[in-house]
Structure 1
Amino acid sequence: MDTYLQFIVLGLGLGAVYIGLTTGLVLVYRATGIINFAQGAMAMWGAYVFAQLRIDGTLVLPIGRITFGAKPVILVAALIGVLMSVLLGIVAHYLVFRPVRHAPVLAQVVVSVALMLTLQALVVIRFGPNSIVVDSLVPAGTVTLFGVEVSSRELIMTAVMIALAALVWAYLRFTRAGVATRAASENERGAMLMGFAPDRLAGVAMVLASAVGTVGVLLGSSLTGLNPANYTLLVVPALAVLLVARMESIGVVVAASLVLGAFQSVVNLLVSKPWWPQWAQSGVDQVIPFVVVMVILFLFGRRLPSRGTLQTVRLPDVHVPRIRPVPALVLVAAAVAVLALTQDTYRFGVTYSIILMLVALSYVIVTGYLGQISLAQTSFAGAAGFTLSKVTTNWDMPFPLAILFCSLVAALLGMIVALPAFRIRGAQLAIVTIAAALAIERFVFNNYALTPPSGNPIANPSLFGLNVGVREGSDLSRMAFSLTVLVVAVLVVLAFVRLASGTTGRMFLAVRANERAAASVGIDVRTAKVIGFGLSAFVAGMAGCLIGYSAGQLSAESFTVFVGLQILAVAYLGGITSFGGAVIAGIIGPLGIIYVVLHEVFDMGDYYALISGIALIATAILNPVGIAGETRRQIAWLRGKLRARPADPPPVPDRKVLSDVS
């Protein structure tokens, strides 16, 4: 029992980090109505600044750096780190969040995710991808608790974060600005009529959120070190706590954070026991937040508070596709020509762009047409890819049948993830799907009992006895494989066009526009959501299988949460409501042809995530219809200009002249 108490206390350190991040999430949501997926990344920046100051006395800025003569003392370095996060919060408020405060939830989620990707990429560029050690603000020691000697550092960290959370609660409860923030969260229009400035209140909330979150990460990183991926994704369990607190209660935030941190720590102890099943030893602590999210949403999904907003911007318009034989043949012929004229790395980039187009198309189905925000598409692709490894190596399942079977597995997983969409949508559904994606990545893809570290080989595909694999001898990107990928993509696109232009597409659009109105005319909304998630996961599964065939074997790095968010970024950037947008997303997507050119010619591969994140922020704010939508609009404008102007009508005689003539 003594060991359990020691691990519970150790878990309180993680719970203290959750308190800081979730308190920041509550502040931002109450002030702006936006769920800030970048909360962990913003806090992480200040912690990295602090750590670098303590390492060599260098203040690292987004552009440039300042070198001090000596390393600042630990408290001064911590204050500078918090100040840098606060300045980042102010910039993020005015340049990123303020322009989308009245935008649709999709644009708000996309902007928040884009900021997360941008900051994570910036941290990798400025500080490196590896973990670094962080000096502790709290001295190490032990105390006796219930007769057991436990670490005192975690207890002090917990006390500090509880005190900061109490100050935030007092701010919202007793100060004029805090009361105004609470009032604006209930009725923003009413708060404006009473003389409050919601933008100013949101700015103050962002400053407080940045400071509290950074202090939590500063304290927690001294225990674990700083890693760009881990601390960016700590926002996922914090989002689970946010839902437990119903997005408003600071007291529940504190209690739920500590319980979750302690429970995860105890689970990590239990998995080391000999009786614990071996297949469930990896990533089970990341499954817990997903289970918490699912339970909360199933029990209270329809009773979670919604913030009063002044939404004035519509979702991007959907351009219903139709099959045009001549343009389609020209597009396919152009793809074949490009594949024939390229070779090796560049041909592989073009082939991978076609595969990425299918992943982006899955986003078009579930988000562009159905209006459901899913952040788990690469998890569906990965599920199909890893299943492909099993069925081709263990069952010798042939090429076309293997892809169909594995895509059906992905579709089944997509239907399961769709269940919370029965009760929720918008940003809350985004929370569910990103929690599901992280749980699948850590519990399945990184689980050596299911996916061994030696690799997950995939047998080369063959069709009618012909080898259509990607490699043979010195040829690293065979034309036969590229053409096979193109044929599969053409068949999927034709099926998509047929569905999108038919009854299924109209059903999706009706649900996207207004679920209650759709139900009132006889549309089964739940069935529509299950079908939409299933179809999108099936398409993503097809892409995952092709990714597996293109690599010859799979690893978890192919289907991380960050890869999925990057593809969402380029899908929105290209235009998330059309097939044309999916094509553009494939071209500019990670490992696509544009990425390959940047890496081979300009050696800018490390800057790809940063560039795509900034471009996505600008697109969501300035051009919600994406590149494809804007191109279509410009073509329509040009056609209008080139169309012959009608002859001027004859002038109408003046009435006075007519009377004079008569």
Structure 2
Amino acid sequence: MSTYLQFAVLGLGLGAVYIGLANGLILVYRSTGIINFAQGAIAMWGAYVYAQLSADGELVLPVGRIAFAEPPDTWVCLVLGLANAVLLGVAAHYLVFRPVRRAPALAQVVVSIGLMLTLQALVVIRFGPNNITFESLIPAGEVELFGTAVSSAEVWMAAIMIVTSVLIWAYLRFTRAGRATRAAAENERGATLLGFSPDALAAIAMVLGALVSTIGVILGAGLTGLNPQIYTLLVVPALAVLLVARMESVAVAAVAALVLGAFQSVLNLLAGEDWWPTWAQSGIDQVVPFLIVIVILFLFGGRLPSRGSLPSINLPDVRVPRFRPIPAAVLVVATAVLLASTSGVYRFGLTYSIILMLLALSYVVITGYLGQISLAQTAFAGAAGFTLSKVTTHWDLPFPIAIVVASSVAAVLGMVVALPAFRIRGAQLAIVTLAAGLAIERFVFDNYSLTPPSGNPIAEPSLFGLDLSVRAGQDISRLPFSLTVLAVAAIVVWLFVRLVSGDTGRTFLAVRANERAAASSGIDVRLTKLIGFGVSAFIAGVAGCLIGYSAGQLSAASFTVFVGLQTLAVAYLGGITSFSGAAIAGLIGPLGIIYVLVHNVFELGDYYALIAGLALILTAILNPVGIAGEAIRIGERLQARLRHPSPEAPAGPTSPTTASDADSTTEVFHHAR
């Protein structure tokens, strides 16, 4: 038992980090109503500034740096690191979160993800991608606990973060600003009428959240080192703690964080035992937060407290597509001509754009049409890709049957992840899908017993004796493979148009508009969500299979959570509610044709993720309809002026194929039935 106690105490260090992040999440949520997925990234920046300053005396700023003659004292470095956290908290509030305070949950989730991507990319650019170690603020030592010698550093870390929790609780309980924050969380309009400024309260909460989260990360990273990916995604278990605390209790969050950290540490100890299954050794600690999220939201999701806020704007309009054979044929032929006229990396970039278009189309189905926020699309794509490897190398399934089987596996997985959507929606569903994506990545894709580090080979595709493989000798992108990808994409897009323009698409829009009204009109909301998640995951699975064929073998790096978030970024930037938006996302997505063209000229490197994050933030704030939506709006205005030159004429026609949340739900439901 002494070994278990020692590992449990070691887990208190991780729990201390969770306390800081969870307290930051609670403060931001109580003051703004926004679940800040970038909380880990915000805390990580201040910790990196402290680490670099204490290591070589350089104060690294987002742009430029200040070099000291020698590294300052530890406490000076700490103050400067926390000062950077304060400035970042203020900037995040006024530049990122304040503009979307009245926006729908989708825009709020998207803007916080954009901030996460931006800060993570900025850390990589300014400090490098490798792990950074620095001397811990707390010296190593041992104390005796129940007759067992345990590490004292983790105990002190837990004690310090408990003190910060007490201070946060005292602020919310006894100070005028804290009480006003709690009051505004219940009724923001009432708090405004009483003379309180929600913006000022939110700015204070954002700063306090950044401070306490940064302190936790500095303490934790002193023992483990700083890594931009690990600490950015530590927000996922912190979100699990947030849900256990019902998004409001600082005390419950502190206890839950320490218990979770200790349990994960003991679980890692158990995973190393001889009796533990080999296939369940990798990533088991990431499965635990996912299961906690699922249980809490499934059991109590409908009763979790929500924040009283001002009325929000609606989601972007959806324009139901119609299949037009001639324009579709022209588009396919033009793309085929482009593929035939290019070669090498440019043909591969154009081919990959088509694949990314399909992955972005999966976001269009689940988010644009059904209104459900899914952050697990690359997990579904990866599940199909790794299944493709198994069925082509072990079962010898031929193309295209192997794609159908592998994508069906992704569809089933998508429907399983959809089960919590029966009770929750919005940002809470985003938490579930993000946790699910991370759990699948760590437990399956990074599991060497399931996916060996050398990669998962995929048999080359062929059809009726025709070689459809992507490479042959020096040719890295054969035309037959590119045309095959185009043909598969054309079929999927045709099926997508048929689906969303029919009764199923109308039920999607009805559920997106108002779930209760849809149910009262006879629509089976749960079945509709299952179908939506299944279809979306199937399309993502097709994209994952094509990615596998384009690489010849798969590794976990192709389907990380960050890849999925970058794809969401370009999907939202292109337009999350239309095929044209997905097509634009494919063109500008990572490894797509525009990425290849720009990269060959400017050597983007890590700057692509930074640009994607900033573009996602600006799009969510300034242009929620995306590039495609804005182009359609401009086209409609021009048509309206041509048709109605008189100033007394209506500003624009009302398209029968346009559906928004402001539409009469009765009409939508009538068509849906």
Which bracket does the TM-score occupy, shorter chain normalised? over 0.9
Match of 2:329 in 1: 329
Shift of 1:151: 0.6
Pair 1:142 & 2:138 matched: no
Indicate if the aligned counterparts of 1:598 and 1:605 stay in contact, CA closer than 8 A.
Answer: no
Show the counterpart of 1:657: none
The SS at the match of 2:196 is coil
Taking the aligned partners of 1:474 and 1:57, their CA distance within structure 2 comes to: 49
Paired residues of 1:280 and 1:443 also in contact (CA < 8 A): yes
- 2:647 and 2:449 mapped to 1: Cα distance? 76
Q: Which residue of 2 aligns with 1:535?
A: 535
Q: How far 1:599 moved relative to its partner?
A: 1.5
Secondary structure of the equivalent of 2:26? Answer: helix
What SS class does the counterpart of residue 636 from structure 1 fall into?
helix
Q: Which amino acid aligns with 1:306?
A: S
The answer for the alignment partner of 1:658 in structure 2 is none
TM alignment of 1:474-623, pairs within 5 A: 474-623=474-623
Aligned residues: 649
Query: Residues 372-422 of structure 1, C-alpha deviation per residue, up to 9 Å, x if partnerless?
Result: 000000000000000000010011100110000000000000000000000
In 2, the alpha carbon distance for the partners of 1:37 and 1:401 equals 39
Single out whichever of 205-214 and 592-601 deviates more from structure 2. Answer: 592-601
Are 2:364 and 1:364 aligned? yes
Identify if the C-alpha distance between structure 1 residues 550 and 648 changes in structure 2 by more than 3 Å, giving closer, same or farther. Answer: closer
Q: CA deviation at 1:309?
A: 1.4
CA deviation string 1:305-333 (max 9, x = no partner): 11111133110000100012222122112
1:660 match:
none
TM-score by length of 2: 0.95
Partner of residue 186, structure 1: 186
The answer on whether the counterparts of 1:369 and 1:577 sit within 8 Å (CA) in structure 2 is yes
Residue number in structure 2 paired with 1:645: 645
Please say if residues 595 and 605 of structure 1, whose CA atoms lie closer than 8 Å, have aligned partners that are also in contact.
no
Alignment map for 1:254-333 (pairs within 5 Å): 254-333=254-333
Partner residue in 1 for 2:408: 408
Q: 1:489 to 1:562 in 2, by over 3 A?
A: same
* SS of residue matched to 1:66: strand
Q: Is the 8 A contact 1:62 1:126 kept in 2?
A: yes
Aligned twin of 1:98: 98
Partner deviation per Cα, 1:112-171 (whole Å, 9 max, x = no partner): 000000000000000000001022111111111111111110011101000001000000
User: Deviation string for 1:180-212 (max 9, x for gaps)?
Assistant: 000100110111111110000000000000000
Any residues of structure 2 matched to 1:466-481 within 5 Å, and which? 466-481=466-481
In structure 1, the gaps of 5 or more residues are 650-662
Could you tell me which amino acid in structure 2 is paired with residue 225 of structure 1? Answer: G
Q: CA deviation at 1:647?
A: 12
CA distance in 1, matches of 2:408, 2:110: 28
| Alpha-carbon distance change, 315 to 145 in structure 1, aligned in 2, over 3 angstroms | same
Q: How many Å separate the matches in 1 of 2:648 and 2:395? A: 74
Distance 1:66 1:257 in 2: 37
Cα offsets for 1:579-637 (capped at 9, x unmatched): 00000000011111111112111111321000011011000000000000000011112
1:77 aligns with 2:77: yes
Map Cα deviations across residues 312-371 of structure 1 (whole Å, 9 max, x no partner): 311000010001222212211221121112111010000000000000000000000000
**Correspondence for 2:417:** 417
CA distance in structure 2 between the aligned counterparts of 1:163 and 1:601, rounded to whole angstroms: 52
Matched, 1:458 2:458: yes
Rounded Cα–Cα distance in structure 1 between residues aligned with 2:230 and 2:474 = 39
Rounded to whole Å, the distance in 2 between the matches of 1:645 and 1:59 is 60
Q: Deviations over 1:456-515 (max 9, x none)?
A: 000100011100110112211000000000000000000000011100000000000000
Does the Cα contact within 8 Å between 2:356 and 2:586 map onto a contact in 1?
yes
Q: More deviation in 185-194 or 632-641? A: 632-641
Tell me which amino acid in the other structure corresponds to 1:357: M
The 5-angstrom pairing of residues 367-406 of structure 1 reads 367-406=367-406
For residue 446 of structure 1, what is the amino acid of its counterpart?
Answer: D
SS of residue paired to 1:418: helix
Q: Which moved more, 1:159-168 or 1:327-336?
A: 327-336
Shift in Å at residue 20 of structure 1?
A: 0.1
Whole-Å separation in 2 of the counterparts to 1:390 and 1:165 = 49
AA partner of residue 403 (structure 1): I
Distance 2:84 2:547 in 1: 40
- Please provide the CA RMSD for this pair: 1.1
In structure 2, what is the equivalent of residue 655 of structure 1? none
Q: What secondary structure is seen at the aligned counterpart in 1 of 2:144?
A: strand
Map of 2:663 onto structure 1: none
Q: Aligned partner of 2:98: which letter?
A: R
Deviation string, structure 1 residues 9-29 (Cα, Å, up to 9, x no partner) = 100000000000000000000
Task: Give yes or no for contact 2:2–2:148 (8 Å, CA) kept in 1.
Answer: yes
User: 2:100, 2:378 → 1: CA distance?
Assistant: 26
Take 1:551 and 1:150, find their aligned partners in 2: how far apart are those partners?
Answer: 48
Q: Does 1:231 align with 2:231?
A: yes
Name 1:222's counterpart in structure 2.
Answer: 222
The higher radius of gyration belongs to: 1
* Counterpart code for 1:110: V
Query: Which letter does structure 2 place at the counterpart of 1:591?
Result: L
CA contact (8 A) 1:75 1:137 kept: no
Q: How do 1:340-351 and structure 2 match up within 5 A?
A: 340-351=340-351
Task: Mark the CA change 1:334 to 1:55 in structure 2 (over 3 Å): closer, same or farther.
Answer: same
Which moved further from structure 2: 532-541 or 450-459?
Answer: 450-459
Alignment of 1:55-66 (within 5 A): 55-66=55-66
User: Which amino acid in structure 2 is aligned with residue 434 of structure 1?
Assistant: L
- Deviation at residue 297 of structure 1 after TM alignment: 1.1
SS of the equivalent of 1:374 reads coil
CA distance in 1, matches of 2:642, 2:476: 47
Per-residue deviation, 1:646: 6.4
- Measured against aligned partners, the alpha-carbon deviations of 1:202-247 in whole angstroms (never above 9, x if no partner) come to 0000000000000000000011100000000000000000000000
TM-score norm. by structure 1 comes to 0.97
Q: Which amino acid aligns with 1:587?
A: L
1:206 alignment partner, SS class? helix
Give the counterpart letter for 1:545 in structure 2. C
Cα distance, 1:643 vs structure 2: 3.8
CA distance in 2: counterparts of 1:296 and 1:643, whole angstroms: 55
Q: Percent identity?
A: 73
Look up the match of 2:161: 161
Distance 1:644 1:232 in 2: 53
* Stretch deviating more after TM superposition (598-607 or 107-116): 598-607
Question: What SS does structure 2 have at the residue aligned with 1:590?
Answer: coil
Conserved in 2, the CA contact under 8 Å of 1:500 and 1:506?
yes
Q: Which residue of 2 aligns with 1:659?
A: none
1:416, 1:48 → 2: CA distance?
38
The one-letter code matched in structure 2 to 1:501 is S
Which aligned runs of 4 or more in structure 1 are off by greater than 4 angstroms? 646-649
Structure 2 CA distance for aligned equivalents of residues 516 and 505 of structure 1: 17
2:31 maps to 31
- Are the structure 2 counterparts of residues 647 and 630 from structure 1 closer, same or farther at C-alpha, using a change threshold of 3 Å? closer
The 1:141–1:395 alpha-carbon spacing in structure 2 relative to 1, beyond 3 Å, is: same
The code of the aligned residue for 2:181 comes to T
Partners of 1:332 and 1:644 lie apart in 2 by 34
The Cα shift of 1:8 comes to: 0.6
Q: Quick check: 2:298–2:424 contact (8 Å CA) kept in 1? A: no
Alpha-carbon separation, structure 2, partners of 1:303 and 1:648: 50
8 Å contact from structure 2 (residues 12, 261) kept in 1: yes
Decide whether the 8 Å contact of 2:368 with 2:577 is kept in 1. Answer: yes
How much has 1:644 moved relative to structure 2?
A: 6.9
Give the Cα separation in 2 of the matches to 1:474 and 1:202: 58
Letter in 1 for 2:152: S
Distance in 2 (alpha carbons) for counterparts of 1:89 and 1:550: 42
Identify unmatched segments of 5+ residues in structure 2. 650-673
